[in-house]
Amino acid sequence: MLITPAFTPVLKHGRVRPCSPYKRKYLEIKSLDGQMITRYQKTMINITKYRLEYKKKEKVFYVWADEEVVCSICGCKDMTRKGRRKRLVIMPSGKIRVLKIRRLKCKNCKKIHHELPDIIVPYKLHNSQTIEEIINGADEAICCEESTINRIKAWWLTIKLYIESVKASLEFKYGITFSSESKLPEIVRALVNRHLWPGTRSAWESK
């Protein structure tokens, strides 16, 4: 685990460049839960209402949101489009689907977000249905290598501990509660849209 100050931007290839105090004001942003983050940290928005439009020429699916998107950092609803990026998703059949997701910039905090449909679990190639079946033990018919299944199960054990640690905060601040019947996309959406998903915060870096 690597803990870095909120004013220290982490660059590519693991290199860290300390930031001088006079630049902190520009780099730091205050999130909805009062945490200070930097503009270099990755942020996301999770959506449940969307359309997939297949572009035959490019062989990709364009993701179009059918719901209002809100900045997960400051709560602003005024977002501008800053292009798209490709995202690979492995479907339950084992087929790879290429999505083109939007990059949105918040006009208030200036942070750029990746807009993820709920079939995507952040930082995972397999879609949410596959991952949910694996963590529920229904992995007999999953088109996955055994090593991948074992890695996902190990990842879930770690994530469960983290979810338990932020559950009280979610309930107190946002009125969000999870039960034993809560689906994975529901949990992902709650954490991602409050900037609480592990990997988007400076105090947590996944292995």
Q: Are 43 and 111 in contact (CB under 8 A)?
A: yes
User: What are the φ and ψ backbone dihedral angles of 190, each rounded to 5 degrees?
Assistant: -60, -40
**pLDDT score at 42:** 67
Give the dihedral of Cα atoms 173, 190, 68, 119; nearest 10 deg: 180
pTM confidence score: 0.75
Q: At what angle are helices 128-135 and 146-174 packed, to 10 degrees?
A: 100
State the Rg of the chain over Cα.
18
- Reduce the DSSP state of residue 114 to 3 states and report it: strand
Q: Are 84 and 101 in contact (CB under 8 A)?
A: yes
**pLDDT score at 7:** 37
Q: Where are the alpha helices (DSSP H) in the chain?
A: 24-27, 128-135, 146-174, 184-192
202 has pLDDT over 70: no
pLDDT-based confidence at 25, cuts 50/70/90? very low
pLDDT-based confidence at 52, cuts 50/70/90? very high
Q: What is the pLDDT of residues 82-134, one digit of tens each?
A: 999 999 999 988 899 999 999 999 999 889 999 999 999 999 999 999 999 99
Q: What is the pLDDT of residues 131-160, one digit of tens each?
A: 999 998 887 778 888 999 999 999 999 898
pLDDT-based confidence at 30, cuts 50/70/90? low
* Angstrom distance (rounded) from CA 30 to CA 71: 12
- Residues whose CB falls within 8 Å of the CB of residue 137, separated by 6 or more in sequence, listed in order: none
The DSSP call for residue 10 is B
